[in-house]
Amino acid sequence: MRKPFDPFGRYAWWTLAINLLVALGGVFVRASGSGAGCGNHWPLCYGAIWPDLTQWDTVVEFTHRLTSAAAFVMVFILWWWARKQYPPGHPTRIAAAASFVLMVTEVLAGGSLVLFDWVVDNLTWGRVIIMAVHLTNTYLLIAAIAMTAWLASGGTFVCPKEQGDWVRGLMNVLTLIWLESALGSIVALNEVVARWEARGGLPAAYEGPAAFVRAMLPVHIAGAVVLGLYMFWVLRRLGLFHSPIHGLVMTVLIAYGVQILLGLLNVALHFAIWVQLLHLSVGYVLWLGWLFITLETLITGPAPQKQPVLDFSQAA
């Protein structure tokens, strides 16, 4: 990918990196069962600015809140700096503004998990829905920050509507990656189902959501296979294996293969924390990788297909 040309570009890439780490920290909070580490108080922790940190759950949750606050400040500065550096209507300024709006909604989504007690062993329909909503917002936030960094580093935004029908494949894969990931966030709640079953059974109020969460696991696996095949078909159809971004294309395909293996390992090890963290990390690689493939291809168009060379001397 392009290298940043100025301090703003470098800062934007760092903002992206920090927000990715914060997102992974949120997964650790959920997978470790530390979501109630500050009680149902938000934004304060047990009603205090600096709580008693003698409990592990509180340390984990409070640390995540501190890093989330730092990420919020970084995105705010990104937006403010973009307003100073770029004129109104500039794509970089718009992307930075979108990043800040999505950061606000990200904070609200995270706060709702605490305020409505959608944490730890809660398995209500509210938690099932907010898991998909929260991941969707996180993906959009990461995409907006990534676009800000990419544009600030020499990228040029080309509207998909200005291209031909070929662009639909790229946009379809981006949409399917999001849908598959959102479904995966719901499937991850199988760990909560397993904890309740280990205790002797689910409360009656949780049986409906638990049945849905279980049913989504085979759907998620089947969707991953279909997505991989469709992704390969789109790349081949657009000739991107022979394009200037073939290195990025191969990285995304390899990451997808690793993601499939991690998904199977995740199920086999009953959603172990370290596997969940790796699984989501590779998920972000796929999301950003395909985003950059799409942005670059919108500029250059599909790679020209290789045509067979006709040897007229032999025909004569």
pLDDT digits (tens, 9 = 90+) for 149-201: 999 998 898 888 878 889 999 999 999 999 999 999 999 999 999 999 988 88
Identify the pLDDT of residue 305: 53
- Cβ count within 10 A of residue 83: 14
Position 62 pLDDT exceeds 50: yes
Does some domain include residue 206? yes
146 and 207 share a domain? no
Same domain, 82 and 182: no
Q: Considering the domain boundaries, does residue 310 fall inside one?
A: no
Q: 38-47, 137-146, 245-254: which range is least confident on average?
A: 38-47
Can you give the pLDDT at residue 3? 58
Task: Judge whether residue 265 has pLDDT over 80.
Answer: yes
Among 15, 171, 161, 8, which Cα is nearest to 92's?
A: 8
Residue type, 140: L
* Mean predicted lDDT score pLDDT of the chain: 91
pTM (two decimals): 0.91
Residue 306 in this model has a pLDDT that exceeds 50: no
Asked if residue 282 is part of any domain, the answer here is yes
Amino acid at 120: V
Residue ranges making up the domain that contains 111: 1-157
**Alpha helices per DSSP H over the chain:** 7-31, 56-85, 91-115, 125-152, 167-187, 190-198, 207-237, 246-268, 273-300, 312-315
Would you state the pLDDT for residue 316? 38
pLDDT tops 80 at residue 310: no
Inside any domain, residue 256: yes
Provide the domain count of the chain: 2
Q: What is the DSSP letter of 86?
A: S
Share of the chain above pLDDT 90, in %: 78
Q: What angle do CA 280, 190, 122 make, to 5 degrees?
A: 105
253 and 179 fall within a common domain: yes
- Answer yes or no: do 224 and 288 share one domain: yes
Which of 139, 157, 175 is a domain's end point?
Answer: 157
277 and 183 housed in the same domain:
yes
Same domain, 148 and 19: yes
Domain presence at residue 181: yes
- Domain endpoint, select from 107, 124, 157: 157
Q: Using only the alpha carbons of the chain, give its radius of gyration.
A: 22
Q: Residue 171 falls within a domain, yes or no?
A: yes
Cα gap 256→143, rounded to integer Å:
18
Listed in sequence order, the residues at least 6 apart from 44 whose beta carbon sits closer than 8 Å to its beta carbon are: 38
Distance from CA of residue 94 to its chain's centroid? 20
Residue 308's pLDDT is 39
With contact defined as beta carbons under 8 Å apart, do 145 and 99 qualify? Answer: yes
Is 57 part of a structural domain of the chain? Answer: yes
> Residues 232, 139: one domain?
no
Given 113, 130, 157, the domain boundary residue is 157
Q: What is the pLDDT of residues 245-263, one digit of tens each?
A: 999 999 999 999 999 999 9
Residues 57 and 198 both lie in one domain: no
Instruction: Give the mean model confidence (pLDDT) for residues 231-256.
Output: 94
